[in-house]
Amino acid sequence: MFRQPKVEYKTTSQMLVMRDAGLVLSRALDQAVAAAQVGVTTAQLNEVFEGVLREEGATSNFLGYHGFPASICTSVNHEVVHGIPGDYALQDGDIISIDGGAVVRGWHSDSARTAIVGTPRPEDVRLSDVTEEALWRGIAALASARFVGDIGAAIDDYVSSVPGPALGILEDYVGHGIGTQMHQAPDVLNYRSSNRGPKVRAGLCLAIEPMLVQGGLETAVLDDDWTVVTVDGKRASQWEHSVAVHDGGIWVLSAPDGGASRLGPLGVTPVPLDETP
């Protein structure tokens, strides 16, 4: 009676276009992260990002999405996701998650990174590092996963195993399928669940994006109807990549090396889409 939303499976040629979109996005995020310095406004980061998309002939999938007014989300300190770029000038010690997307010939990419401005606080470095590693643990799990839910289980197991103060995994905001639209089925949970999700098979493309916080999991949305903040004011981090499953293996579409440098130590060798049998 209640059917799950249909998953869009891609051909190799379609995933190759998504790789092009991912590489444009990677270059745009490179520039935006490099520009995240003391005194720079979040609106200026958005301008830098948009400039790269224009140079590359790509378009933003964030701008205008349900009315969103910018091409990236800039979430600073206790802002978790969906922060709107504006006239806030970055301060020494800020932590900022920059989330963006690009469209090339109708195919989407989505990726996010966390940066620390100026002098880092050790606890913020740990937060970002653990979130990033959790992302790669989830991607590595996808390489041998039977079900999409195996990704969240791997992320959850890793985060809960990290020594030191516990970090929380947000459950209200999750990853998603990606392709002809930015957000598609299936949901990609960042935690262990009895819902295993659909089976993993060639043609599946996912945006995996763990979001971790230093405090409680309760969040609220600000009056701008977009910016999500932690209720206790504790800081947050987000890391994200778009990943393709193909006949030969997996490939991280939004990483220039397909994820090889981070997946190798985890025992996974990504296979370029060009080498698909």
Residue 180 makes CB contacts below 8 A (sequence gap 6+) with 8, 106, 107, 108
Average of per-residue pLDDT across 88-98: 98
Please give the single-letter amino acid code of residue 72: I
> Could you tell me the two tokens for 46?
């958005």
Write the pLDDT tens digit of every residue in 149-178: 999 999 999 999 999 999 999 999 999 999
Secondary structure (3-state) at 121 = coil
State whether CATH 3.90.230.10 applies to domain 12-275.
yes
Position 5 confidence tier, pLDDT thresholds 50, 70, 90: confident
Residue 276, pLDDT above cutoff 60: no
CA gap 261, 14 in Å, rounded = 25
Q: For residue 242, how far is the Cα from the chain centroid?
A: 7
| Binding-site entries for substrate | 82, 183
Write the pLDDT tens digit of every residue in 216-261: 999 999 999 999 999 999 999 999 999 999 999 999 999 999 999 9
Write the pLDDT tens digit of every residue in 190-215: 999 998 999 999 999 999 999 999 99
Position 1 confidence tier, pLDDT thresholds 50, 70, 90: very low
> Could you tell me the two tokens for 261?
């440098």
Residue 188, pLDDT above cutoff 90: yes
- Residue 207 · residue 177 · CB < 8 Å: yes
Position 3 confidence tier, pLDDT thresholds 50, 70, 90: low
Q: At what angle do helices 149-161 and 122-142 cross, to 10 degrees?
A: 150
| Binding-site entries | 82, 99, 110, 176, 183, 209, 240
Residue 53, pLDDT above cutoff 80: yes
What pLDDT score was predicted for residue 4? Answer: 66
Position 275 confidence tier, pLDDT thresholds 50, 70, 90: low
Share of the chain above pLDDT 90, in %: 96
What pLDDT score was predicted for residue 277? Answer: 53
Residue 51, pLDDT above cutoff 90: yes
| Binding-site entries for a divalent metal cation | 99, 110, 176, 209, 240
Write the pLDDT tens digit of every residue in 110-136: 999 999 999 999 999 999 999 999 999
What pLDDT score was predicted for residue 274? Answer: 83
Strand partners, 206: 177, 243
> Could you tell me the two tokens for 172?
């209200």
**Cis peptide bond upstream of 186, omega within 30:** yes
Residue 33, pLDDT above cutoff 80: yes
Burial of 276 (0-12, 13-18, 19+ CB in 10 A): middle
Asked whether the whole model's pTM tops 0.75, one would answer: yes
